[in-house]
Amino acid sequence: SAVGRGPEVPFRSEAYRISAVARGKELRLTLSALDPAEAPPQDLVFRFGMSGSFRLSPAAELPRHAHLRFLTRESPVRALSFVDPRRFGSWRLGDAWEPDRGPCVLTEYQAFRENVLKNLDDRAFDKPICEVLLNQKYFNGIGNYLRAEILYRLKIPPFEKARTVLEALKDQEQEKRKDPSLTLSRKVKLMQENPDLLELCHLVPMEVITAEKQLFDPGHPDNYAAFTTWLRCYLVPGMSSLRDRSGRTIWFQALPHPLLTPPNLGTSSPTGQTPRRKRPQPKADPEAPSPKVTSRASKRRRRAAANPPKSEEEEEEKEGKEEKEEKEGKEEEADGPRKGRARGRKKATTAPASSEPEVPLRRSRRTSARRAKGETATPRL
């Protein structure tokens, strides 16, 4: 089509045959002319992305987003179209598979298993198992809904470290090789009765292919209903979900263990909506000095240090004046009326004519305590 992003296909033939071979998430089409002298064979390798598919429809009723079309010679003419609404899919010329993809989980199961177990030292397996299952270098063919179904059946926490999960399978593999009683038929039986993670990566996609006519045939009226019935975890009500580091949503049965949850990821409700993250609060520095708390005693000490020391005679003279002034203030206060909240207020009194400077009425606590104990004032050193 005019809006297709793929390369032009340099193949022209009046009559040709289309054959296909799949490997993981890739599909290779081979166009072969019925007359070999008319045109050499042409290979195309497709990647489907999230929404790519092939549909056969009347040429006069092409579906939307039909980016590549193969027409028939019959009447009425039909078209086999590569349909990709989101345009995540693509095709390229040639027969070479993508070099970064490992063996297919379906058609090359034994090579797929060996490729995973012999490369567990790769840094890719430092990531959570849910993220590694989407790595097509090792799990070619596993997608988002398949990883959720596989982990759900084995009750594996999605953010468990991949190497921790798979190293146990490596030990089991070595024990099976040493056991001469395990024949091929018995291995197949054990795989079907009690499959491990890598075996489910083969068996779960096979379930989908076995029921392909009912699950994924676009013309089947109960297509989507049959698929949702088959699902046990992915998009199932009551399951939880959150996003991994690559931004893909992982579905699982229960909230992951807090120690297995990756940083900066918030759990979500069964509807898949992620709550807002809380603003990080600053942490207290354990080595920082504690805030200073100033008490009344320390204030008095600083005030005393600022004032010069006085002699013993001056202290006694000051105390006598304080007592006299306080006594006179109480007598005048008792003579006058007391109203409302004014009882705590002191009335201003006229100081007696004296050459002595005015002394505040308030008695120092230290002097009062000393008099109560019967101690004599001692000069300050």
Q: What mean pLDDT is predicted for residues 345-357?
A: 49
Q: Within this chain, do residues 126 and 88 fall inside the same structural domain, yes or no?
A: no
Average pLDDT, the chain: 77
What pLDDT score was predicted for residue 198? 96
Sequence-ordered list of residues with C-beta below 8 angstroms from that of 53, at least 6 positions apart, any chain: 82, 83, 84, 218
User: Which neighbouring-strand residues pair with 21?
Assistant: 28
Residue 5, pLDDT score: 81
**pLDDT value at residue 214:** 58
Please check the confidence at residue 263 and state whether its pLDDT lies above 50: no
State residue 250's pLDDT score: 95
User: Which of 220, 252, 284 corresponds to the end of one domain?
Assistant: 252
215 and 161 assigned to the same domain: yes
- Looking at the fold, whether 191 and 120 belong to one and the same domain comes out as yes
Read off the pLDDT of residues 171-207 as tens digits, 9 standing for 90 and up: 777 766 666 666 666 666 676 678 999 999 999 999 9
| pLDDT tens track for 85-139 | 988 899 999 999 999 999 999 999 999 999 999 999 999 999 999 999 999 999 9
Both tokens of 78, joined, read: 């039909």
Residues 120 and 219 in one domain: yes
Supply the pLDDT for residue 248.
92
Are 150 and 77 contained in the same domain?
A: no
Asked, for residue 326, whether it belongs to a domain, the answer is no
pLDDT value of position 268: 46
d(CA 129, CA 200): 14
Please give the pLDDT value at position 73: 87
Q: Do 138 and 26 reside in the same domain of the chain?
A: no
- At 271-286, the pLDDT tens digits run 444 445 555 555 555 5
Average pLDDT rounded to a whole number, residues 240-256: 86
Let me know whether 81 and 174 are in one domain: no
The CA-CA-CA angle for residues 145, 130, 125, to 5°, reads 140
User: By residue range, what is the domain housing residue 26?
Assistant: 16-93
C-beta of residue 137 within 8 angstroms of C-beta of residue 119? no
Examine the fold and report which residue of 252, 271, 298 is the final residue of a domain before the chain moves on: 252
Number of domains in the chain: 2
Domain identity same for 114 and 53: no
Give tens-digit pLDDT for 314-340. Answer: 555 665 666 666 655 555 555 555 555
Per-residue model confidence as pLDDT tens digits over 24-54: 999 999 999 999 899 999 999 999 988 899 9
- Kindly indicate the confidence band of residue 210, based on its pLDDT and cuts at 50, 70 and 90: confident
Mean pLDDT of 287-304: 59
In this structure, the answer to whether residues 125 and 42 fall within a common structural domain is no
Does the pLDDT value for residue 253 go beyond 70?
yes
Of 369 and 233, more confident: 233
pLDDT tens, position by position, 157-180: 999 999 999 998 887 777 666 666
Report which of residues 300 and 231 the model is more confident about: 231
Domain CATH number, residue 53: 3.20.190.10
- Confirm whether 305 is domain-assigned: no
Residue 145's CATH number: 1.10.8.50
The pLDDT value recorded for residue 315 is 55
- According to the model, what pLDDT value does residue 172 have? 78
